[in-house]
Chain A
């Protein structure tokens, strides 16, 4: 992406850029689009190079990362999810997830007066939800359920991986070694939550990682960062002040998915109706 012809490159300091943007934002943009600043894509702004945005998770940055210091957990509040799909969009961009593969997705549940349950998830909710017109029954309850990796304490995928390419880190994340995975898909079969898939380009298993690379930089997972309603919450249980700690210690009814599988997820749900699978 960087320039190969110095002539077409316009170097601006950050202050200059800001002054420009502030002085005449629209005409500036128009000039840029109109090519007045030829090759604006190559425009280089000095200063502020590559620093991280301010930390979102306390206690991760500025010291050596101790595996034992953190116990991360994820809470999904079903009563707050509006089904906008911001999380899915963020996730797809963060990992360049191929089409028809889903690290995370949203399901729409509509429960009719007579108890019939209608579930759908068009493109995993990536493009949001259109109104459903195919149900002509009165609906008594409706809600969205975001799904992602459960980060099981006793993960079946880790158990069945024949080569140790799916593993649990000491701080409780289930990750994949893309260099050793043979792509046998046994983990895909073993996951009760269907969060795994075979990556069509890498030809290895792949799944949600709770954005381990962001967490280790003190940032929230991309989907949590993108969620406009705080339906997705992420935090450290070892930090008694985190929202996660407070929720999981509150008298709220907290459930996990498919408890009977004995997987002991680290992903908890608030407000999950019994129909949620």
Chain B
């Protein structure tokens, strides 16, 4: 093979072409299947996201087993509060119809903290006027009811239907309404 003054330059060009070809082949080889079907991405990624397991269910999923609690929940003011917010996600409790784990049930001071998270009137940025949420001042609320301030909210309010006992009491003793009203 004759080696002219430009042989090495030509070879260099060939090497560069070889590298380019390698890149092109590699690119084709490693591009995931279907890439670009909907856009510049792997369409399988959509399916991956769809396959993500459910953690939270809905309130309706608790009905079938906890009929009793659910029946109060449904008719009370708290029907808008999700069971799973207070107790934890259903996916960690029931899987494929099997109970697989405990959910939390607040006790003692935790209950007050839970209620005040939504009802604390000291937090100023809440919507005013009581249309969206009625707030109470703690411990004023308890003082107004003339009870010790270490009372828990659930001693008067049924957690699942907070006005249940109170309305019942009002029916029985209409005077409660006047003397011990809160605002």
In the complex, A touching B, CB below 8 Å? yes
Which residues of A pack against B, CB within 8 Å?
A: 1-2, 14, 17-18, 21-22, 25, 40-41, 43-54, 56, 67, 79-86, 89-90, 93-96, 108-110, 127-132, 139, 142-144, 164-170, 175-180, 209, 212-214, 216-217, 219-220, 222, 225-226, 228-230
A109 to B61, CA, bound (A): 36
CB-CB under 8 A from A67, the residues of chain B are 38
Of B52, B66, B122, B132, which is within 8 A of A131 by CB? B122
Main secondary structure of the interface of B (DSSP, over half): loop
Contact, CB under 8 Å: A83 / B123: yes
Provide the bound-state CA to CA distance between A219 and B133, in Å.
25
* Given A14-B65, A17-B65: 14 more A-B contacts, CB < 8 Å: A1-B101, A25-B68, A80-B127, A82-B132, A90-B82, A93-B56, A95-B55, A129-B123, A167-B45, A170-B38, A170-B39, A178-B45, A178-B48, A225-B82
Task: Give the 6 A-B residue pairs with the shortest CB-CB distance, closest first.
Answer: A167-B41, A142-B125, A177-B45, A213-B52, A131-B122, A48-B97
Size bracket of the B interface: 35 or more
Q: Does B27 contact A (CB under 8 A)?
A: no
CB contacts (< 8 Å) of B40 on chain A: these are: 164, 167
Assembled-state Cα–Cα distance A132/B96 (Å): 45
Q: Please tell me if the beta carbons of A226 and B39 are within 8 angstroms of each other in the complex.
A: no
Instruction: Give the CA-CA distance A226 to B80 in the complex, in Å.
Output: 8
With A21-B66, A22-B68, A228-B80 already in contact, the answer to whether A93 and B88 are too (CB < 8 A) is yes
CA distance A43 to B94 in the complex (A): 10
Docked complex Cα distance between A45 and B99 (Å): 6
Question: Is A41 within 8 A of B98, CB to CB?
Answer: no
Enumerate chain B interface residues (CB-CB to A < 8 A).
32, 35, 38-42, 45-46, 48-58, 60-61, 64-68, 80-82, 84-85, 88-89, 92, 94-102, 117-118, 120, 122-127, 132-133
**Partner pick for B96 among A49, A90, A130, A131, CB 8 A cutoff:** A49
B-side contacts of A50, CB under 8 Å: 95-97
Check if A89 sits within 8 Å of B120, measured CB to CB. Answer: no
